[in-house]
Structure formats: structure tokens, C-alpha cells
């Protein structure tokens, strides 16, 4: 086994390899976009992580809407675990592909936390969401998720950093996907989002509120209300699930049937 001298690779070849490995959406972000747009502090610039970074390759695979909207713990958890593992494998193997062609590259794992660490320091080493934003896969929406044309926010992300210079993909025009309808904010069982849609580009997010639900219901780790409720995404049409109001009616019906007052922290589907 010996490493080769750099062999030219085109974006089309990299995309083809990523898709062969399981990627669905692939975008390229020149590293300069982090400083140019200034959404994140320098600490979260890819070059802080690895000074040789020239391009970030963002990769997304979908979370399937019927599973996301059922908010059923076992299947939701299984989808989450499976997509995590697939993402890591795609990104690792795409890095191997680039290294094999003489272009230094490595993958950043899709989920940057040990168990319980989120409660202490709820910041990951690298933001795949912003990488997806700068790579033109989607735009960061009101709910702080990357909203894509194909799947709305119903997908998961991973990134590969490489020293290979590649042309960036065009970024999504601001507010062309997320129009700040704020349904995510209304549906959130923990009221994690707040803000003024006329003044703010996106909501303020209380991450601790978001995790509180996870802690409260331990094994039943299925939330994703801010994902399922988002009206954006071609997947809504594919799965014939266009009426997002349905989720709100379900909530009212559930509370009425169980004669309980509207407690936003109470999960809709908890088995009692």
C-alpha cells in the first residue's frame, strides 16, 4: 500500500463516488465563505479545525417523512441510528477516496457528543448545518435546521474537509426556502424557539429546553416536531402528506380526548 501522487479529480467524480456510497445531496463550500459571511465565530471556521482546509464537502441523506411524522419512539430511534451510521461511513469512505487520489481529506463525525455532554457544553466541534448552508444544499431556517428544497429540514448531515480546491456551489438565496412561517416554533413541545420574524433572520433557540424533552422521556427519544411540521420539501408531495395542520389538530384532539389542559411540554404520543 503506497499513497499516490495527486491525481486530478473533478467535482462530478467526487459527487458520483459520494452517491455510490449512499449520499443523496452533495454540495461544495469554499472555505472562504465562513469568514465572508461571518455567521459563526472564527472558532468554528473549518480552518480552525484544520488549517489546510480549502473546501468543505457537505453531504445529506433524508429522514423519511412517514417515520418522522409518526413520532413513534422505536422506529424514529432506529431511523436516527441507521442514518447516523450511514453518514459516517459515507464521509469516511469519501475521505479515503480523496486521500487515495493524493488529496488530503478527513471526515468530521455526524454527531459530536458523548452521552450527557450536551447538558454541559451543547456545542459540537463543527457545524454541519452551516456547512450545508455554505455548500448550497439549503438555507439555515427559523428552526436552526438546514431547510432543503428536496426534504425541507428532514435529513441528516455530515462533512468532509479537504485540502483540494474545488469550485463552490451557488448558495441558496436568502428566505427562498424558509419563509419564517414559524410553524416549527408553534409545534415545539418545549418552546425552544423565540423571536420576531420581522426583525430576526432566524429564531433564538434554547438548546437546553430542546434537550429537556429528551431527558424527561429517556427511552422515548422521539421528538422532531420542528422537522415534521415544516411545509417545505418535495418529500411532502412524494408521501402525500401536505396538510401540516393535521399535526396541530392531532394535538388538540389528543388533549381533548384525555381531558388534559394544553400543556405544551406534554408529548402528544406518550403511552399512558
Partner 1 sequence: MPRTPLTKTQIIAHARDLGAESVGFAPVSRWDDFAGVPPNFRPRAIWPLAKTVIVIAVPLWLPIVEAAPSQLGREQYIITNELLDEVSYRLAVFLNRHGHAAINLPRDGQGEPEVLAETPTAIFSHVWAGQLAGLGVVGRSRALLTKAYGPRQRLISVFTDLELEGDPVLTEDFCGDCHDCEKICPSRALTSQPGKRLADFNLAACAGEGKRLRVAFRNPCGFCIKVCPVGEDRQLFGSTNTQKYFDEAAALAANPNAPEYQDWLHIRKYGGFPLPEDPISIR
Among 19, 54, 64, 89, binds partner 1 (CB under 8 A): 89
Residue 146: how many CB atoms within 10 A of its CB? 30
- Confirm if 1 and 99 have CB atoms less than 8 A apart: no
Nearest to partner 1 of 86, 244 (CB atom): 86
Among 40, 72, 75, 109, binds partner 1 (CB under 8 A): 109
Nearest to partner 1 of 50, 239 (CB atom): 50
Nearest to partner 1 of 81, 191 (CB atom): 81
200 binds partner 1 (CB under 8 A): no
Among 35, 51, 191, 246, binds partner 1 (CB under 8 A): 51
Nearest to partner 1 of 125, 256 (CB atom): 125
Q: What b/e sequence results for 114-124 when a residue is b if at least 16 CB atoms lie within 10 Å of its CB, and e otherwise?
A: eeeebeeeeeb
Burial bucket for residue 86 (CB in 10 Å: 0-12, 13-18, 19+): middle
Number of residues that bind partner 1 (CB under 8 A): 38
x/- letters, 110..149, toward partner 1 (CB under 8 A): -xxxxxxx--xx-xxx------------------------
Q: Rounded distance, CA 252 to CA 217, Å?
A: 21
Among 68, 71, 83, 95, binds partner 1 (CB under 8 A): 95
Nearest to partner 1 of 101, 154 (CB atom): 101
With contacts defined by CB under 8 A, name the span among 33-41, 50-58, 70-78, 238-246 that binds partner 1. Answer: 50-58
With contacts defined by CB under 8 A, name the span among 101-109, 136-144, 199-207, 244-252 that binds partner 1. Answer: 101-109
x/- letters, 151..190, toward partner 1 (CB under 8 A): ------------x---------------------------
Residues in contact with partner 1 by the rule CB under 8 A: 1-3, 43, 48-52, 85, 88-89, 92-93, 95-96, 99-100, 102, 104-109, 111-117, 120-121, 123-125, 163
Amino acid at each position: 500500500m503506497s499513497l499516490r501522487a495527486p491525481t486530478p479529480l473533478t467535482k462530478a467524480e467526487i459527487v458520483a463516488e459520494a452517491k455510490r456510497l449512499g449520499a443523496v445531496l452533495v454540495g461544495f463550500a469554499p472555505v472562504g465563505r465562513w469568514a465572508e459571511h461571518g455567521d459563526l465565530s472564527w472558532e468554528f471556521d473549518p480552518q480552525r479545525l484544520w488549517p489546510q482546509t480549502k473546501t468543505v464537502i457537505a453531504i445529506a441523506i433524508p429522514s423519511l417523512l412517514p417515520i418522522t411524522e409518526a413520532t413513534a419512539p422505536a422506529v424514529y430511534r432506529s431511523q436516527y441510528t441507521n442514518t447516523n451510521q450511514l453518514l459516517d461511513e459515507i464521509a469516511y469512505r469519501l475521505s479515503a477516496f480523496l486521500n487515495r487520489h493524493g488529496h488530503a481529506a478527513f471526515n468530521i463525525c455526524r454527531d459530536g457528543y458523548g452521552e450527557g455532554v450536551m447538558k454541559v457544553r451543547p456545542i459540537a466541534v463543527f457545524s454541519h448545518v452551516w456547512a450545508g448552508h455554505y455548500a448550497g444544499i439549503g438555507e439555515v431556517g427559523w428552526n436552526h435546521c438546514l431547510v432543503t428544497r428536496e426534504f425541507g429540514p428532514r435529513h441528516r448531515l455530515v462533512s468532509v474537509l479537504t485540502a483540494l480546491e474545488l469550485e463552490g456551489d451557488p448558495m441558496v438565496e436568502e428566505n427562498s426556502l424558509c419563509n419564517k412561517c414559524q410553524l416549527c416554533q408553534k409545534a415545539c413541545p418545549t418552546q425552544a424557539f423565540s423571536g420576531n420574524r420581522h426583525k430576526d433572520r432566524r429564531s433564538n433557540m434554547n438548546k437546553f429546553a430542546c434537550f429537556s424533552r429528551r431527558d424527561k422521556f429517556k427511552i422515548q427519544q422521539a421528538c422532531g416536531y420542528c422537522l415534521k411540521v415544516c411545509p417545505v420539501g418535495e418529500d411532502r408531495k412524494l408521501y402525500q402528506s401536505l396538510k401540516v395542520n393535521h399535526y396541530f389538530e392531532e394535538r388538540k384532539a389528543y388533549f381533548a380526548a384525555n381531558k388534559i389542559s394544553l400543556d405544551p411540554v406534554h408529548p402528544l404520543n406518550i403511552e399512558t
